[in-house]
């Protein structure tokens, strides 16, 4: 009888240095194994309230609507688009990688009228391009941009674009899936109206939840829709009533995932946001210097490189797929392959959350040198 493997006995011992999930802290794993409680248990409601409070600190916001959606980061993306947009609404999407493309796909499925601003892969979006697009098309309801483009490793500056977006009276949507917890995501200071993330990157929890925060202005838009949100599962009007004071039952929350997010946030705030950003910056810098010292080229434009996600190009003489397989099999280290135009040509190395450690960089570089005969 096909029965398979005893997962927890035979699981592999992987060091996760890809674009996510990242390896998580042992205490976070322990939290996953907490015996279950009911989703309306007074104890669990306390865990939820506490999680919301910690999420507000990490998002650097006072937003009342701050919660974790019951799906992965992409569900967070879809949540923001299907709640803010109604059929026919104009939305401007900034695209310079896979996740900008995904935003467009989701916005189109929401029935929105989608305009785009693009930049070459490896480059950030230019503020003047956003300004020009907004100038040439009136009535844009929202502008959406990826803060940390996981397909290229580009760190998108937000401040000037946010100013332009608000000058035109639009809502500012920011994808913080790979940025939250690794670099500053200053929701209130930057005037971000809707921001979403995932738990498996710099927050250091397993994949399965999508933190989301909405400004009071964005929440008003959701509360005053003319049409029902097309997704029942992601309808923030109902979900806010479960996370809010009313505690109305909507769906059964993924209890264990919330236990683990709670513990991951606790550890992050215990370290301190500032210190976590410094750690990500230092380890990213160490990795990028070492890769360049090996003669390899970084893909993201200089000055716009994320410390937590590095795209590195291999010269034609190396077979990146073979090296990546060898790294996994011989060293137990996972890195990511290139996406889109970078497929077969690049690695994406993540130093996300608990995976961002000096010794992990040292090990990876040494393993690469051994494999590449450098």
What are the backbone angles phi and psi of residue 73, rounded to the nearest 5°?
Answer: -50, -40
Residue with Cβ nearer a second copy (36 or 374): 36
Residue with Cβ nearer a second copy (167 or 330): 330
Structure letter (DSSP) for residue 230: S
Closest distance of CB 301 from a second copy, Å? 25
8 A C-beta contact, residue 283 and residue 22: no
Q: Helices marked H in 137-272 — which ranges? A: 159-167, 216-223, 236-243, 255-271
Closest distance of CB 122 from a second copy, Å? 20
Residue with Cβ nearer a second copy (233 or 331): 233
Residue with Cβ nearer a second copy (124 or 350): 350
Closest distance of CB 280 from a second copy, Å? 19
Closest distance of CB 270 from a second copy, Å? 7
8 A C-beta contact, residue 66 and residue 212: yes
Q: Is 19 helix (H, G, I), strand (E, B) or coil?
A: coil
Residue with Cβ nearer a second copy (127 or 347): 347
**Residues with Cβ within 8 Å of residue 336, at least 6 apart in sequence:** 18, 19, 347, 348, 349, 350
Q: Helices marked H in 190-299 — which ranges? A: 216-223, 236-243, 255-271, 273-293
Closest distance of CB 315 from a second copy, Å? 25
Q: Which helix (H) or strand (E) holds 365?
A: helix 358-372
* Distance separating alpha carbons of residues 91 and 141, to the nearest angstrom: 6
The answer to whether the annotation marks 348 as part of a ligand binding site is yes
**Strands 194-196 and 210-214, how do they pair?**
antiparallel
Residue 159, sorted as left (phi over 0), alpha (psi -120 to 50) or beta, turns out to be alpha
Closest distance of CB 296 from a second copy, Å? 22
* Distance separating alpha carbons of residues 350 and 353, to the nearest angstrom: 9
Q: Which two tokens stand for residue 214?
A: 């909405």
Residue with Cβ nearer a second copy (110 or 156): 110
Closest distance of CB 289 from a second copy, Å? 26
CA angle 180, 183, 188 (to 5 degrees): 65
Closest distance of CB 288 from a second copy, Å? 22
Q: Which two tokens stand for residue 116?
A: 């785009």
Residue with Cβ nearer a second copy (43 or 138): 43
* Distance separating alpha carbons of residues 86 and 90, to the nearest angstrom: 9
* Distance separating alpha carbons of residues 245 and 372, to the nearest angstrom: 58
Residue with Cβ nearer a second copy (262 or 280): 262
Residue 316, sorted as left (phi over 0), alpha (psi -120 to 50) or beta, turns out to be alpha
Binding-site positions read 348
Binding-site positions for substrate read 348
């Amino acid at each position: 009888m096909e029965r398979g493997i005893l997962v927890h006995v035979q699981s592999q011992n992987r060091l996760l240095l890809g674009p996510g999930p990242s390896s998580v802290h042992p205490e976070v794993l322990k939290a996953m194994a907490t015996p279950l409680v009911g989703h309306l248990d007074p104890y669990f409601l306390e865990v939820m309230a506490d999680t919301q409070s910690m999420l507000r600190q990490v998002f650097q916001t006072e937003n009342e609507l701050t919660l974790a959606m019951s799906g992965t980061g992409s569900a967070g993306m879809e949540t923001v688009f299907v709640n803010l947009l109604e059929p026919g609404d104009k939305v401007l999407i900034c695209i310079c990688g896979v996740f900008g493309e995904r935003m467009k796909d989701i916005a189109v499925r929401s029935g929105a009228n989608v305009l785009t601003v693009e930049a070459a892969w490896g480059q950030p979006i230019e503020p003047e391009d956003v300004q020009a697009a907004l100038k040439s098309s009136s009535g844009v309801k929202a502008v959406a941009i990826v803060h940390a483009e996981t397909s290229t490793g580009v760190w998108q500056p937000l401040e000037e674009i946010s100013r332009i977006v608000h000058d035109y009276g639009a809502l500012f949507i920011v994808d913080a899936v790979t940025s939250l917890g690794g670099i500053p995501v200053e929701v209130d200071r930057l005037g971000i109206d809707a921001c979403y993330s995932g738990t498996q990157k710099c927050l250091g929890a397993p994949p399965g939840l999508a933190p989301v925060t909405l400004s009071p202005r964005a929440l008003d838009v959701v509360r005053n829709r003319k049409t029902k949100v097309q997704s029942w599962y992601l309808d923030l009007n109902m979900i806010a009533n479960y996370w809010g004071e009313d505690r109305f039952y909507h769906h059964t929350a993924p209890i264990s995932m919330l236990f683990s997010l709670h513990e991951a946030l606790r550890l992050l705030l215990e370290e301190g946001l500032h210190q976590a950003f410094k750690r990500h910056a230092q380890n990213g810098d160490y990795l990028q210097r070492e890769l360049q010292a090996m003669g390899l080229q970084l893909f993201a434009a200089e000055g716009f490189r994320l410390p937590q996600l590095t795209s590195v190009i291999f010269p034609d003489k190396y077979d990146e797929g073979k090296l990546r397989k060898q790294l996994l099999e011989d060293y137990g280290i996972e890195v990511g392959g290139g996406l889109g135009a970078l497929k077969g040509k690049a690695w994406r190395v993540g130093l996300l959350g608990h995976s961002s450690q000096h010794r992990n960089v040292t090990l990876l570089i040494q393993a690469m040198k051994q494999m590449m005969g450098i």
